[in-house]
């Protein structure tokens, strides 16, 4: 298949649904890790067409959602420093910190600008040499190579007023942490497509080997996800545990060697704080010492008051897969996309946003 419409073909979908229903004999719980998968599953009603033997749960695959409150507070504090321009992706503007948000900071006079890529931020730095331009490095392995490339370009062009506040996170360590915690029993993992395009499917082999859990890398169209579920179901029923790819047009076992080399040249692993999960060793990325002059964490004196979590918000539990948005007393009543209490309602890839927009039939 070559065209998007072919991945949305109704007749093919019915065939896959019938195959899944025929194959699935035992109860199985599958977790999708990627926020893009969460949205697609809700948008196309995947949960509603699967047999009752299969349960789908959402994991911590939204990079905006898993950014911890202290890290949001740090970005807001940085925005208050005179002469600093904060650049970030659009979703980050509305994410609530302890006492404010970047959007509110901008309304109060801070120079906070939305950009579409780190290269936009680099351009702002060249156009404002008297200012310090900070790019908020949010995202998983998907976005980190692009940020690394911007740092290398800043080096090549001697752009000294460009900085990165790295809040990047790595996916394999958090999946390991969730599986080791054992809060949610899982029978299969829908592995992230965009991340796997960088890391390769080999990044998930430890899941099958160490935890005995089937893994399939999925794309983002309805047939992609149904094919992924069919492959997971087949593994469960045959008592297999291996890593398969249902997204071969975008993912190989080895991944993108050039992107990985860029990321590893500029960044090195470090501990990272995940919302609702805590600090996980080796799950974050920080700039290497030779690039510390571009590291906002090193170059600025960022003063942050103790963080406060929003009262009653269950984003942490939702991200771990132990609760759903329907369990939260704030959902739809006090927490909406127009007035979000937690980040899972802010981001277009957040579980709460997906439930709000597409999950009315589940309420």
Q: Specify the residue for token string 């740092």.
A: 151
DSSP 293: G
Q: Which residues of 300-316 are buried (b: 16+ CB within 10 A; e: fewer)?
A: bebebeebeebeebbbb
DSSP string spanning 253-272?
SS--HHHHHHHHHHEEEEEE
CA distance to 67, 116, 161, 193, 289, per residue, from 171 (Å) = 13, 22, 30, 12, 23
| C-alpha span between 88 and 135 (Å, rounded) | 6
DSSP 309: P
Phi, psi (degrees; rounded to nearest 5) at 331: -60, 130
| C-alpha span between 42 and 351 (Å, rounded) | 9
Tokens of 307: 């963080």
Q: Give me the half-sphere count of Cα atoms (radius 13 Å) on the Cβ side of residue 10.
A: 0
> Going residue by residue through the chain (363 aa), what tens digit of pLDDT does each one get?
566 777 888 889 999 999 999 999 999 999 999 999 999 999 999 999 999 999 999 999 899 999 999 999 999 999 999 999 999 998 899 999 999 999 999 999 999 999 999 999 999 999 999 999 999 999 999 999 999 999 999 999 999 999 999 999 999 999 999 999 999 999 999 999 999 999 999 999 999 999 999 999 999 999 999 999 999 999 999 999 999 999 999 999 999 999 999 999 999 999 999 999 999 999 999 999 999 999 999 999 999 999 999 899 999 999 999 999 999 999 999 999 989 999 999 998 999 999 999 875 554
Domains annotated on the chain, with CATH: 1-302 (3.40.50.11740), 315-362 (no CATH)
């Amino acid at each position: 298949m070559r065209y998007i419409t072919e991945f949305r073909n109704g007749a093919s979908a019915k065939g896959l649904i019938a195959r899944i229903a025929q194959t699935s004999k035992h109860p199985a719980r599958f977790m999708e890790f990627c926020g893009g998968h969460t949205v697609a599953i809700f948008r196309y009603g995947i949960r509603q067409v699967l047999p009752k033997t299969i349960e789908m749960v959402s994991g911590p695959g939204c990079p905006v959602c898993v950014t911890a409150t202290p890290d949001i507070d740090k970005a807001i504090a940085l925005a208050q420093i005179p002469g600093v321009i904060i650049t970030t992706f659009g979703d980050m503007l509305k994410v609530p910190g302890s006492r404010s948000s970047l959007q509110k900071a901008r309304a109060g006079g801070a120079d906070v600008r939305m950009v579409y890529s780190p290269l936009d931020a680099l351009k702002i730095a060249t156009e404002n040499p008297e200012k310090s331009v900070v790019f908020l490095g949010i995202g998983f392995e998907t976005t980190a190579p692009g940020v690394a490339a911007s740092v290398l370009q800043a080096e090549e062009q001697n752009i000294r007023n460009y900085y990165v506040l790295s809040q990047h996170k790595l996916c394999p360590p958090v999946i390991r942490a969730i599986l080791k915690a054992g809060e949610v029993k899982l029978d299969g993992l829908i592995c992230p497509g965009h991340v796997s395009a960088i890391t390769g499917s080999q990044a998930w082999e430890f899941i099958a080997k160490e935890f005995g859990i089937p893994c399939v890398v999925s794309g983002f169209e309805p047939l992609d996800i149904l094919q992924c579920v069919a492959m997971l179901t087949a593994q469960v029923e045959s008592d297999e545990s291996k890593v398969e790819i249902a997204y071969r047009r975008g993912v190989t076992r080895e991944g993108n060697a050039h992107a990985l080399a860029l990321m590893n040249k500029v960044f090195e692993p470090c501990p990272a704080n995940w919302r609702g999960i805590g600090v996980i060793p080796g799950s974050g990325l920080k700039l290497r010492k030779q690039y510390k002059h571009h590291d906002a964490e090193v170059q600025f004196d960022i003063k942050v008051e103790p963080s406060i979590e929003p009262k009653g918000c269950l984003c942490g539990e939702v991200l771990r897969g132990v609760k759903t948005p329907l369990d939260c007393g704030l959902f739809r009543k006090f927490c909406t996309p127009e007035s979000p209490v937690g980040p899972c309602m802010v981001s277009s890839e957040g579980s709460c946003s997906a439930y709000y927009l597409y999950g009315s039939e589940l309420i």
